[in-house]
Structure 1
Amino acid sequence: MRPVRVLVADDQELVRSALRLVIGRRADLVVAGEAADGEEAVAAAFALRPDVVLMDVRMPGLTGVEATGRILGDWPHADPRPRVLMLTTFDLDEYVHAALRAGATGFVLKDISPDRLAEAVRVVAAGESALAPTVTRRLIGAVAALPPALLAGPPRPGPERGPGEETGTGTGTGTEREGTGRLGGLTARELEVLVLVARGLSNTRIARSLGLSEAGVKSRMNRILTRLGLENRVQAAILAHEEGLVDPARVPPRPPR
């Protein structure tokens, strides 16, 4: 299996050097290129086609959030767009929301350990979301105030349901409400997966919890995104919270500093 190719975008050379070391010491990760500002990040992403862009939020000229929007919105190639993992010293809500609206798949802080950063890159490359614990808690707490644009767009047509996949109530995940509104097209099993995604579980943990294979979870997650017209797991998690599928009391509290 080829290593995950990472584009490092940060305006501080010292930070880029540190990130190169973190990534370069992992056999399954490799630095594909670097960028010192948003414009360079866009050009490098288009030229190098990395799997993941490790993007600083605050950069001169074109910000990391704006660069993310350009990369994902104007992607000129037929191959899949890269995943974007935002990296910053700030966990302020406006940056989190702006980054997610731009299409970022993850958001971590610069005080993260090297091992956790490497794992976040792997998680994002695999199509899952990576959010710092403090960011996750604040994001969930502010869901009601999120702009509608984050979840804009009508649901796209999805695949037909297989035999025995009837829309209904979820079981085993703490929700017994029937899918209605935007969620009305989901099967009972897809609702179960959606609830666990909203609680921050990885595909591995979801598979273990529901007695499914990881491939089965990924397949259902793809169908959920298609049926709801969403781009990524983060947006799906936000919608689940907006629809009341997740009990706020079940959300893990912010860890002590």
Structure 2
Amino acid sequence: MTIRVLLADDQEMVRAALRAVIDRREDLCVVGEAADGDQAVDAAFRLRPDVVVMDVRMPGTTGVEATRRILTEWAYEDAPPRVLVLTTFDLDEYVHAALRAGASGFLLKNSPPDQLAHAIRVIAGGAAMLAPSVTHRLIGAFTALPTGLVPGTPTPAPGHRGRLDALTEREREVLILVARGLSNAQIADALGLTQANVKSRVNRILTRLGLENRVQAAILARDAGLIPPGR
């Protein structure tokens, strides 16, 4: 099945480069482009892509606000598109806000073409994707920020530990390793499980906690004190 991609970036040359990278893959196809956040929202609702590759900083409506609108205002029965945020800086505060808004991950703009294609596939498949070089630093820096400091960041709901009571001891162990940035393969090695078993447990954790992706699970785990700040 071909993964349909919408590109949102205010620079035409960047969109052209991204299109060239994506369209040369047999399983990926660019179905539309947007030059700002408002266009991205309109195009997402009109074209209903599988993945939106979203720039963070655009004139007018930012990529953060566009991400939030796409995911919260989606009016179709099928699931909304997954959002892959692109950024120039690995600690950009707007990326933190985009993850809070429901983006499935982020990638640096200087990432290799194959890494971009891989990220799109991973996100389309329902998993989260963070730039490998900054996974630990991103989550640690984000959860250390005071609530309300980052634009677009909602106030977290109280009772994190109460929500975690719904998990089994093994699921808590998996959640802690997710929060530390480990992949399913690494978690499987650490706990002596199969990758299929880890994937099943991660999906069950997300369902029980009412979360959209691994990034939100990692943030909740750190907010609840399962992972010390900076780890």
Name the TM tier (shorter chain). 0.7 to 0.9
Residue in 1 that maps onto 2:156: 152
| Residue 191 of structure 2 corresponds to residue 216 of structure 1 | no
- Equivalent positions of 1:107-126 (< 5 A) are 107-126=106-125
Give the Å deviation of 1:127. 1.9
Which one-letter code corresponds to 2:219 in the other structure? I
Q: Aligned equivalents of 2:193 and 2:31: distance in 1?
A: 35
Corresponding residue for residue 244 of structure 1: 225
Which residue does 2:137 correspond to in 1?
137
Counterparts of 2:100 and 2:186 in 1: how far apart (Å)?
27
Residues 30-69 of structure 1: per-residue CA shift (max 9 Å, x gap): 1121111111111111111111100011112211111111
Aligned residue identity for 1:47:
R
Superposed displacement of residue 226, structure 1: 2.6
The residue number in structure 1 matching 2:29 is: 30
Pair member with larger Rg = 1
**Offset at residue 79 of structure 1 (A):** 0.5
TM-score by length of 1: 0.78
Q: TM-score, normalised by structure 2?
A: 0.86
Question: What is the aligned partner in structure 2 of residue 81 from structure 1?
Answer: 80
- 1:190: how far off? 1.1
Separation in 2 of the partners of 1:94 and 1:207?
32
Task: Tell me, yes or no, if the aligned pair for 1:5 and 1:31 is still in contact at 8 Å.
Answer: yes
Q: Which residue of 2 aligns with 1:175?
A: none
Q: Find the residue that maps to 1:145 and give its secondary structure.
A: coil
**What count of residue pairs does the alignment treat as equivalent?**
226
Asked if structure 1 preserves the Cα contact closer than 8 Å seen for 2:8 and 2:35, the reply is yes
Tell me which amino acid in the other structure corresponds to 1:125.
A
Distance in 2 separating the partners of 1:208 and 1:124: 23
1:212, distance to aligned residue in structure 2 (A)? 3.8
Structure 1: gaps of 5 or more residues: 156-178, 252-257
Tell me the percent identity.
64
- Residue in structure 2 matched with residue 198 of structure 1 by the alignment: 179
Asked whether the 8 Å contact 1:105–1:130 carries over to 2, the reply is yes
Per-residue deviation, residues 165-217 of structure 1 (Å, max 9, x unmatched): xxxxxxxxxxxxxx953311101221122122112122343344434444433
Q: Tell me the secondary structure at the aligned position of residue 7 of structure 2.
A: strand
Give secondary structure in 2 for the equivalent of 1:223: helix
Q: Which runs of 5+ in 2 are unaligned?
A: none
Counterpart residue identity of residue 102, structure 1: A
